[in-house]
Structure 1
Amino acid sequence: MMAEDEVDSSYHTSTLAMEYATTPFNFVLSVCDHARETCSVLPGATTATRLHHSFPNPARATGSEAKIRTAFRDTRDQIKAFAIDFVRQHLPH
């Protein structure tokens, strides 16, 4: 789905939140309820502004392959809109 939006995510990997324990943060964004609950403590983010938005989990989609792909596209597009809005509101232009 990312490639459809011209984003190459083939080199992306998962990391543990504790790998960033000594990194100072201005913002902590969570995009699912599970992450909000399980990553509630991040040592480098004690004074960070925390923002949360729960998006549908497309991995839970059921139905035809087309319906599942649509769920992934919809979530991708919602996260993209959230990120664009965040940048516009919180980062210097």
Structure 2
Amino acid sequence: MQIYFLCTGNSCRSQMAEGFARALHPAWRVASAGLEQHGLNPLATQVMAEAGIDISRQTSTLIDPAFLAGCDLVVTLCGDARDRCPVVPGVARLHWPLPDPAQATGDQAARLTVFRQVRDEIRRRVSALA
């Protein structure tokens, strides 16, 4: 299976989904991308490391039309990506409307709590894809 996880900035949610998919489904061809490049969020890297998954070498990238065209499944993780992602005939699409942890407010502990909640929901959903 070839799967693409898409978000607006490819900094948090799609990066975490890519990390879980690679770890949980090693036979899949997996990538993540965004409509824009916002860079990998360090809190996403931190909470994924807590879950035993290293995403520190992943990079924020733009959507690759060739990879997209070869996908079996595209998962959008925000409404912006859902609405603006190119549609490819024959490619299945799912939308996971998850909150953007990068928008979390408060002190570091409060922000990490939001990142962990989103991470755990992504793990649950990626596990269910099998």
> Normalising by structure 1, what TM-score?
0.80
Shift of 1:68: 0.6
Q: What secondary structure is seen at the aligned counterpart in 1 of 2:129?
A: helix
Is 2:73 the counterpart of 1:21? Answer: no
Shift of 1:20: 3.5
Q: Show the counterpart of 2:91.
A: 48
Offset from partner CA, 1:15-67 (integer Å, 9 cap, x none)? 211x243641111111111211221x15xx32111111110111111112111
Is 2:121 the counterpart of 1:78? Answer: yes
Greater percentage in helix: 1
Q: Distance in 2 between matches of 1:67 and 1:14?
A: 25
* Aligned residues between the structures: 83
Q: Show the counterpart of 1:9.
A: 55
Q: Which residue identity does 1:6 align to in structure 2?
A: G
Instruction: Compare relative contact order (CA 8 Å, sep 6+) and give the higher one, 1 or 2.
Output: 2
Structure 1: where are the runs of 5+ without partners? 88-93
Greater percentage in strand: 2
Q: What secondary structure is seen at the aligned counterpart in 2 of 1:69?
A: helix
Shift of 1:86: 1.4
How much identity, in percent, do the aligned residues show? 37
Structure 2: where are the runs of 5+ without partners? 1-46
Q: Which residue identity does 1:5 align to in structure 2?
A: A
Query: Runs in 1 of length 4+ with deviation above 3 angstroms?
Result: none
Q: Which residue identity does 2:71 align to in structure 1?
A: F
Shift of 1:75: 0.5
